[in-house]
Amino acid sequence: MPATLSPYISVKDAAAAIDFYISALGAKEAFRLTDPSDGRIGHAELTIGDASVMLSDEYPDFGAISPDTLGGSPVKLHIYVEDVDAVFAKAVSLGATELRPVKNEFFGDRTGSFADPFGHVWMVATKTEEVSAEEMQARWSQAFDT
């Protein structure tokens, strides 16, 4: 099996998070395992496009801590979508907080970022132009020459 990288996130209220990701990002739920002792979601798997995202409710004894408990997260989740403006607007309408508005960037993406209601930061983008690494560097350097 080839190596695959899948984010594993922890949240407070995983059931609500799953509903949000389905509604805002078009996620599909593969399955969930519910803790019979207290109803928490111990493990769930979603697909968003061709990516797998795993998540659970908080389980501090296993190190599964949400951004709410930690006071934020240094990790950001980046996803390409067909219509960044529509996905972004939908996420905000469902309770996400806009961090950076959607705009065209020098590196060939139309992109913006939001914090979901569970504390995770998403960078959503639509590719608008294929830009080589060399051209990206030239454009970035030019921005600093002003």
- Least Cα distance to 116 among 82, 80, 66, 70 occurs for 66
Environment class of residue 56 by beta-carbon count within 10 Å: exposed (0-12), middle (13-18) or buried (19+)? buried
% of the chain at pLDDT higher than 70: 99
Residue 66 lies in a domain: yes
Backbone angles phi, psi at 87, to 5 degrees: -65, -45
Environment class of residue 135 by beta-carbon count within 10 Å: exposed (0-12), middle (13-18) or buried (19+)? middle
**Mean pLDDT score of the chain:** 94
Query: pLDDT tens-digit profile of 77-120?
Result: 999 999 999 999 999 999 999 999 999 999 999 999 999 999 99
39 backbone φψ class: left, alpha, beta (φ>0; ψ -120 to 50): left
Residue 1 lies in a domain: no
Q: How far apart are CA 33 and CA 117, in angstroms?
A: 22
Position 146 confidence tier, pLDDT thresholds 50, 70, 90: low
Q: How far apart are CA 142 and CA 96, in angstroms?
A: 33
Residue 21 lies in a domain: yes
Asked if 11 contacts 66 with a C-beta cutoff of 8 angstroms, the reply is yes
Residue 2 lies in a domain: no
Position 144 confidence tier, pLDDT thresholds 50, 70, 90: confident
- How many CB atoms within 10 Å of residue 139? 14
pTM summary value: 0.90
- Per the listing, tokens 């959503």 go with 124
Task: State residue 145's pLDDT score.
Answer: 78
Residue 106 lies in a domain: yes
State which residues form the domain around 14.
8-144
Tell me whether strands 121-127 and 76-80 are parallel, antiparallel or unpaired.
parallel
**By three-state DSSP, how is residue 139 classified?**
helix
Residue 16 lies in a domain: yes
Task: State residue 37's pLDDT score.
Answer: 95
Q: How far apart are CA 141 and CA 61, in angstroms?
A: 47
Residue 3 lies in a domain: no
3 pLDDT above the threshold of 80 = no
CATH code of 130's domain: 3.10.180.10
Residue 37 lies in a domain: yes
> Considering its fold, how many domains does the chain have in total?
1
